[in-house]
Structure 1
Amino acid sequence: MAEPEFGEQTIDDSVPKVRDAADVTVDVETDVLIAGGGGTGLVAALAAADRTDGMVTVLEKSHRLGGNTSLSTGMIPAAGTRFQREAGINETPADMARDILEKNDYEADEAMVEHLCTESTNLIHWLVDDWDITLQFVDDFTYPQHSTYRMHAPDGRNGENLIEELGERIEATDNIELLLHTPVRQLVADGDTVVGAVAGETHEEVIGAQKVILATDGFAGNRRMVERHCGQISDALYFGSDGNTGDGIRWGAALDAELACMDSYQGHATVVQGTGALSTYAVIMNGGFLVNEAGNRFGNEAKGYSALAIDVVEQADSVAYEIFDERIFEKLEGEFDDFDEAVELGSYLSAPDIETLATELGCDPAATADALESYNDAIRDGKPDSVGRSDGRSVLEPPFYGATVTGSLFHTQGGLVVDEHGRVRKSEGGVVENLYAGGGTAVGVSGHGAGGYLSGNGLTTALGLGRLAGVHAASSIDD
């Protein structure tokens, strides 16, 4: 049998993941080596550069920075920030932690959730004050099951803008070296201690490093790993970064790292079929709803876009129909880059009445009209509607808008277990010396499956663990 391609391996494959230091010759050295140039890697690099004059090297295997962060809204949840206080919101990290834990039924590591929520305050202030990153407080809507406003967003509420600014700061920092088209292939270890990596696209080099941070994201782009660990969503559309091939998780596992929640992932319920654009969930949380081909409601949209993704996938042809009105359209236009892009791509249809819209979309006109009437009546009566939804609703009035959407897989949430500094923990106790992980490479804070994902959990671990790992790695370098 041929060896699996790079990126299509599973944890159990025999393809070498770690090289013995005695069997290689170091070609070049750095102080902190970061594998991955997404949100985790870029934040880790800036945090490390804050703490050392030594060289920090970021290796990104693709032709551009970003990873999953660039595909997100870039909105970072944080509790206790001055931006909240300026908006009259007095929230503590414990409040944010409670929302996260209640969403995942307390399946996540409570201590880590609390730690990252506390770190979220420092993260936001550090990004804005120390690195002049543009973040604006979002106080015009909340995602499902967030008890208050706590999102801090880049321009356009678009992760690409956040990545662009982080990349600019990286380029302007003298002791950070950034290399694109340079995939890390294997780790190099001296016994149980990581001492570098083998990297390169066409010509491999051995890079010696005092500390290595894995920021290679999760495994949602690796079909074999998804089928093995997240079979429920394996047939859905993949809407994540091409780099999510599980590399860092496999390397860590080869060093006896502890793994957790490998069945956890973030799905999304409203990717537009045909155009491939993301219809921001703000459409739903401002009052939109979904029906299936028969024109019937089928899931409580307020449980969140991740949990609802499975409900959409289970409908005929794995599609649903998003229904909203002109008020919502006009409110979101110009506020979300994702929404504007979807509009430009022709994702939305409009019609003067619900029956005409349903006919154009392809769902049953009479049943869709009944669903709309029932939805509006429940709001006017102040009661939960037919699917039990009571949050984020508004009476919808003509003219109406709609889109055909499908459920998708964004990124996985299971991975390497890390400590409070982002150091990779071993399955039998202790840590893998000199090895750190964050973002999708590390286990997230969403518990198991798709239902525990609270909006923003991905960036909580990506940027939070990135900063913690960068600070600790640089601070513990041998002089």
Structure 2
Amino acid sequence: MSGSQISRNIPDHIDAEADVVVIGAGACGLVAALRAKAAGAEVIVLERDASPSGSTSMSSGFVPAPATRFQRSIGTEDDTPERFEADIMSKSKGKSAPSLARLAAQTIGPALEWLADAHGLEWTVLDDFLYPGHSRHRMHAVPEKTGAALEARLLVAVEAAGIPVVNEARVTTLHAEGDDRIAAVGITRPDGATEILGCKALVLACNGFGGNPALVRQHIPEIADGLYYGHQGNTGDALIWGEALGAQLEHVSGYQGHGSLAHPHGILISWALMMEGGIQVNSEGARFSNEHGGYSEQAVNVLAQPGGIAWNVYDARVHAFAQGFPDYQEAMAAGAIREAAGVTELASITGLPGVALEATLSQVATYQSGEAADPFGREFTGKPALAAPFFAVKVTGALFHTQGGLMIDDQARVVREDGSAFANLFAGGGAACGVSGPDVSGYLSGNGLLTAIGFGFVAGDAAGTLAVPGASG
């Protein structure tokens, strides 16, 4: 772990300094930087890659938020932070950290409205279906409906605010002053050159540890053999630094999985297909779970099938609906989507056993008509019955990003085991403990960007205020 170190020695020189240093230029780091700048601080963002992208660009870009004016504009008048908090806690069966669920639910709406008002980000609310576990339409997206577009818009805002983002600047060392304060960070460049950057406050926004196979196997063995569909730079730096400093680590076994990654293409197939009436079958042509239970825990269900493979099966109505998602269009262009005139052809092009596949579709038809109840507990009657022609895509389960991390307080300050906070160390997004609880089933759609933007908003404000007391933004 030599790439992530804590030095107890004060550096003998400082090459440069800033009021607030932010490690990571994804959604969390960029929002934190914007908020710290608004508080009057001089801010520098350090990004390990040649250009910022990370988990934000790989995500769907959908952010759940309650009680926003964007919701009200589509007629959703009765959502509240309390309702959202209840949905978060319900999905994790009460295992989420209550203080963090409350902080996220209360903060995210104001954060999105501030980004719109102060930095021109446009938000639309997806109201064509409810994501699993959400009781109201509250999923916000930029007009392009992609994580890459969200990242791009945040980068434009950061540039317009005059905040430097220094690329190819991997932070390898935190210089701790005593047991309470981070005085500086050590940066290593691709050519081996090093620099020391002093700071009054430090925000860890460098995500989780999904790209560190050893840490995944240590903390989340059930998904260690699954495909990792996340940013390779998520190597657990924040977790390693935090552990060395004596920070409180929480829910490190929690993670977001996904049971619908096109195989072998590596393209996300939106779970909206399942919510609109699609089903999943294994290589034997049989369903194996309630597809409405949640796409995160479905990763484990899919990986438990023969070969760790499943097929999404749906019809022309769902196929037409899915084309509204850029990822699905990419999957079509890559040849991942198969089309068949009927069950016989569907069996032929997928290699699934025809008799079993026909039996499965016949059973589903009885569930959709209300003649029988699904033994897995899924409610089918709310959507039209599947009808030829059929479509199918081969998928596998994957680890998207970890959900556990450094425990933070209501100012996003990292805390120790005894609950006391470090003086100037903040965390958000995947670097911090999230709101999904300790296992895969607790992930509620959008929890990743919820804590990236929500906790980044809090961390930036608190770090900026600490670094420049009395300044007005």
TM-score w.r.t. the length of structure 2 is 0.95
Q: 94, 97, 106: which one pairs with 2:85?
A: 97
1:162 is matched with 150
CA distance in 2 between partners of 1:381 and 1:390 (Å): 9
Seen in structure 2, the aligned counterparts of structure 1 residues 258 and 354 have a Cα distance that, compared at 3 Å, is same
The 5-angstrom pairing of residues 302-451 of structure 1 reads 302-333=292-323, 335-381=324-370, 384-390=373-379, 393-451=383-441
CA distance in 1 between partners of 2:399 and 2:351 (Å): 24
CA distance in 1 between partners of 2:424 and 2:2 (Å): 28
The one-letter code sitting in structure 1 at the alignment partner of 2:395 is: V
Point out 4+ residue stretches in structure 1 off by more than 4 angstroms.
none
1:181 is matched with 168
CA distance in 1 between partners of 2:291 and 2:145 (Å): 21
CA distance in 2 between partners of 1:155 and 1:252 (Å): 37
- Spell out, residue by residue over 1:190-221, the C-alpha distance to the aligned partner (whole angstroms, 9 max, x if none): 10211121012221111100000000100011
1:57 maps onto 2:47 in alignment: no
CA drift of 1:283 comes to 1.3
Q: Secondary structure at the match of 1:327?
A: helix
Q: 107, 110, 115: which one pairs with 2:98?
A: 110
1:40 maps onto 2:34 in alignment: no
1:68 is matched with 55
Seen in structure 2, the aligned counterparts of structure 1 residues 276 and 389 have a Cα distance that, compared at 3 Å, is same
> Percentage identity across aligned positions?
37
1:87 maps onto 2:74 in alignment: yes
- Spell out, residue by residue over 1:260-318, the C-alpha distance to the aligned partner (whole angstroms, 9 max, x if none): 00100000001011211111111111111100011110011111111111010011110
1:132 maps onto 2:120 in alignment: yes
The one-letter code sitting in structure 2 at the alignment partner of 1:110 is: P
CA drift of 1:364 comes to 1.5
TM-score w.r.t. the length of structure 1 is 0.94
The one-letter code sitting in structure 1 at the alignment partner of 2:36 is: A
Question: Quick check: 1:350–1:399 contact (8 Å CA) kept in 2?
Answer: yes
- Spell out, residue by residue over 1:24-63, the C-alpha distance to the aligned partner (whole angstroms, 9 max, x if none): 42111111000001110011111111111x4210011012
Seen in structure 2, the aligned counterparts of structure 1 residues 23 and 208 have a Cα distance that, compared at 3 Å, is closer
CA distance in 2 between partners of 1:127 and 1:366 (Å): 54
CA distance in 1 between partners of 2:143 and 2:365 (Å): 34
1:12 is matched with none
CA drift of 1:337 comes to 1.1
Superposed CA RMSD = 1.4
The one-letter code sitting in structure 1 at the alignment partner of 2:314 is: F
The 5-angstrom pairing of residues 245-284 of structure 1 reads 245-284=235-274
Instruction: State how many pairs are aligned.
Output: 464
1:150 maps onto 2:135 in alignment: no
1:209 is matched with 199
Question: Quick check: 2:22–2:203 contact (8 Å CA) kept in 1?
Answer: yes
Question: Quick check: 1:313–1:407 contact (8 Å CA) kept in 2?
Answer: yes
Seen in structure 2, the aligned counterparts of structure 1 residues 146 and 394 have a Cα distance that, compared at 3 Å, is farther
1:293 maps onto 2:280 in alignment: no
CA drift of 1:393 comes to 4.5
The one-letter code sitting in structure 2 at the alignment partner of 1:313 is: L
Question: Quick check: 1:288–1:393 contact (8 Å CA) kept in 2?
Answer: no
Question: Quick check: 2:340–2:389 contact (8 Å CA) kept in 1?
Answer: yes
CA distance in 2 between partners of 1:154 and 1:355 (Å): 41
Gaps of 5+ in 1: 7-15
Structure 1 stretch displaced more, 465-474 or 336-345: 336-345
Question: Quick check: 2:428–2:456 contact (8 Å CA) kept in 1?
Answer: yes
1:242 maps onto 2:229 in alignment: no
CA drift of 1:134 comes to 2.1
CA distance in 1 between partners of 2:58 and 2:343 (Å): 32
CA drift of 1:86 comes to 2.2
CA drift of 1:433 comes to 1.5
CA drift of 1:146 comes to 1.1
CA drift of 1:148 comes to 1.5
2:466 is matched with 476
